[in-house]
Amino acid sequence: MTYRFEEENYQNTYVLEDFYHTHPFYDYNYVVIRLRDQDNGDNAFAFQVNFNKTFIPLPDHPRLADVQTQIAKGFAKNAPDELILLFKQRVVEAKAYGEKNPTSYLEFQPGNYYNFFELFPEDKKGMLDFNFNKDQYFAEDSYDIDPRNDNRSLKLSFFKLELDNADQAPIFSTTYFLDERLREKEDAGLESSNRDMLIGINQAIPDFNDRLKKRYKEAKKIGKELLKNTPGVKVEEGKIKPNDPCPCGSGKKYKKCCALMLN
């Protein structure tokens, strides 16, 4: 789609480019529009158009000139209903793409933990739900996807199943070690009621530990893919010595940087 605007006396012809979030769990009601001069690629500007036909400047973008602000406001206000409907349809398409291609929205950030369904949104049967003391509960498992950190553990949070409460806080969270000895030591520090819930989920899901081991490997695999495709992050092969430069690119020695996080 191309546009000319009265605010510029119809001098320039702009090509419309529209951008969307692909995260399948991210709810939003807008589209990012970029208008690019088809004869001069350096003449381009971007802004957010909300589906209620209002406009918002984009943070971390060059400030719009006065005439560009007028164009953006007019574009949003006068957008045909058919165009807004097209944008809404493309939001659905973008999320569907993200569900099949999670690397389109995931960003590699060392030390961050990612929910399993954020990593694998297509896994519809992966919910860790179980019955305990006549009530329904579920657990969420989150992983440090950095392949350089062979921590062999994950974060496990427990919730009561409440369909009308999407923002509930976890009943408790714990570090779940894949190694049985480390896991027993960690579990010993939990309150008795929380230990009982851990026992309950293991009884309800007989292959619970094996399932988490498999997910751990899958999370590290996707982390390796993201690491290779992240600009400025060098992938080091082999064992890193304490006095070697840290592979994260900080300029510090490994022992004074990421090694502290791993330990």
Q: Mean pLDDT of all residues in the chain?
A: 90
Question: What pLDDT shows up at residue 262?
Answer: 44
Q: What is the mean pLDDT of residues 50-73?
A: 95
Tell whether the model's pLDDT for residue 253 goes beyond 80: no
More confident: 164 or 2 = 2
| pLDDT for 134 beyond 70 | yes
Q: Average pLDDT for residues 191-208, to the nearest whole number?
A: 96
Residue 196 half-sphere exposure, CB side, CA atoms within 13 Å?
6
Separation between Cα atoms, residue 218 and residue 205, nearest integer Å? 19
Between CA 165 and CA 55 the distance in angstroms is 32
Contact 141, 212 (CB under 8 A): yes
Domain extent listing, the chain: 2-102, 113-230, 236-263
**Mean pLDDT, to the nearest integer, of 111-123?**
93
- What confidence tier does 263 reach under pLDDT thresholds 50, 70, 90? very low
pLDDT level of residue 74 (50, 70, 90 thresholds): very high
Tell me the residue length of the chain. 263
pTM above 0.85, yes or no: no
